[in-house]
Amino acid sequence: MKASLVWSLAIALGSVQLCAASAKLFSRRWEDVAEKHSWVDVPRGWEYVSPAPADYEFDMRVGLKQDKVDDLTATLMETSDPTHAKYGKHLTVVEAEALAAPHPDSVEAVDAWLEDHGVPPANVVRSTGGGGWVVVRVSVAQAERLLGTKYNVYHHTASSERVVRALSYSLPRELHPHVDVVTPTTYFGTPHSMRRTSFLQPDRVLQPTTKDGGARADCASVITPACLRELYNTASYVPRATNVNKLGVAGFLGEWANRNDLQKFFAQFRPDAVNSSFSTVLVNGGLDNQNVPGVEANLDIQYTTAMSFPTPNIYYSTGGSPPFIPDSQTPKNTNEPYLEWLSFVLSRNKSEIPQTITISYGDDEQTVPKEYAVKVCNLFAQLGAVGTTVFVASGDSGVGGGDCLTNDGTKKKLFQPAFPASCPFVTVVGGTHKIPETAVDFSGGGFSRYFGTPAYQNVTVAKYVKGLGTTYAKLYNPAGRAYPDLAAQAYAYQVIVGGALQYVAGTSASSPTVAGVFALLNDFRLASGKPSLGFINPLIYSTASKGFNAVVSGSNPGCGTAGFPAKAGWNPVTGLGTPDFEKLQKLI
């Protein structure tokens, strides 16, 4: 054999061996795995049912790390700071999405990992609007191999909902710097299992009200749009920017706002709004069943429209996949409420995104995996960066509902902050009642264990914490994001549900009310040729802090304690206080 031929064969053989070695090395690249998140026990309220069928299919979302998220939040703070040169210079949707996008290396790493596991490119979709998500159609068996976990069916006793979830999951160590979170895995929240922030008051005897609902004094015993409009000084303002200004209500509880009930509500409490309505946008399989009016949905939309009329209102009906059915092989989503709605809104044109949005639900922060909470909170920052003010109800459990025990295996009694109220990029609304206003005892409030105290709160929160001294020192995190930021009436709201007048209470009444006030402030700015307010927290804690009525009495008991006391200045029951529209007009 000629030497050249021998040499050629040697090269060819070496190349084959090298390729085989490379392939083996490439495969081993993903074998070094580490746990991403796990629960010690099945989350409270859920119970194990059975192993999930191996061939059950669902959409798995891989949340890639956002390469410039620090730049996004820094920009948000600059454009939200009334003393900064960039104040009010909100980003376009495209600009915000660029800052929320993942690094190309992260995209490449996740693609290689999926390819190594035999996931065909046709099963991979890249979502828009929500800061870098890869959506992968997989079976339970495939997901278990990808994530080194075991999926089971779990039952939520309160809502009777069944979901497919895992108690832990892992990723190759190489992917940890590239991936924030994978869902559905260890986050058990669903549109039907989240805690409502409103409740009926069937024991109250309905008080007679005048045709227009009475005046400010009525707020001492019964809440109507007229008393709120007078109490918060919006009654004389006539909106002028209704061609561009919008107010949004995020609905997640399997409820629908009823148009007939709204007309009856207007006829009794806001006659000049009769025949006006709201639009409904369906998100992620959401429905609009006008035969089944929802208390929460009706409360939200009746008071946002009544407070902001004639500003256009949008009700977002966000669905989730139906409860797990053993023989169902075709669910298209994963039951998780935050991600679908935020991704949807952030993928819209800027002209379609409301300048003001209110959200009336939440859950204990400790039930949400931290990585998931951070990812969702960053999406709220992205929404604020494009000029939207997001209000969130603070919750109806004071400093914590139930036994307040931690779910980390230690079962330690601690105050339980709520999420998304604990996110520093939303504006949280607590509750008051009576005249003069005092803190209502169920008003949610406290300090996050996931998020640190944001700069805009440093001075006011430090002052309150110093005043507490050693009180509750071991029950809360004094270095955490503190909430609520503001407050409004939360008791004895008159709402039409199924054609009948009912009393409803909760901070999910307070949040739509404050959202209505700020929707009018946005109208005032837009009509004056100025940009929308956007993320308002840096503003309200500084140059606009005098635009609120301080609430100095009451507390929010819970966890076997009297809770935090309301005091002058900021407090973790009613925040900075309740809004005064006319004062705020002059300050913004």
Query: Given phi > 0 = left and psi -120 to 50 = alpha, else beta, which region is 374?
Result: alpha
The secondary structure of 244-284 as a DSSP string is T--EEEEE-SS-B--HHHHHHHHHHH-GGGTT---EEEEET
Q: Please return the burial class of 123, using the count of CB atoms within 10 Å of its CB with bins 0-12, 13-18 and 19+.
A: middle
The tokens describing 234, both together, are 């919006």
Which helix (H) or strand (E) segment holds residue 511: the answer is helix 507-527
Query: What residues does 151 pair with on adjacent strands?
Result: 166
State the Cα–Cα distance between residues 437 and 288, nearest whole angstrom.
36
Structure tokens at 441: 């005892």
Q: Which amino acid is at 407?
A: N
Residue 387 to residue 354: CA distance in whole angstroms = 9
Task: In whole angstroms, give the CA distance from residue 512 to residue 235.
Answer: 16
CA separation, residue 520 to residues 231, 240, 564 (Å): 15, 9, 31
Whether 218 is catalytic: no
What are the structure tokens assigned to 59, written together? 């959409």
Active-site hit among 106, 343, 508, 510: 508
Q: Which phi and psi angles does 94 have, rounded to 5°?
A: -65, -45
Active-site residue flag, 508: yes
Active site residue 296: yes
Q: Give the separation between CA 401 and CA 421, rounded to whole angstroms.
A: 15
The neighbour count for residue 31, using CB atoms within 10 Å, is 9
Q: Which of 81, 296, 340, 580 is catalytic?
A: 296
Residue 82 class from Cβ within 10 Å (0-12 exposed, 13-18 middle, 19+ buried)?
middle
Cα angle, residue 137 at apex, residues 131 and 143 outer, rounded to 5°: 95
Amino acid at site 172:
P
Contact (CB, 8 A) for 518 and 391:
yes
What the block records as the tokens of 233 is: 């000084």
Residue of 261, 300, 340, 523 marked active site: 300
**235/242 Cα distance (integer angstroms):** 17
DSSP, collapsed to helix, strand or coil, labels residue 134 as strand
Q: Which helix (H) or strand (E) holds 303?
A: helix 295-308
CB 446 within 8 A of CB 485: no
Distance CA 201, CA 304 (A): 21
Show which residues are catalytic.
296, 300, 508
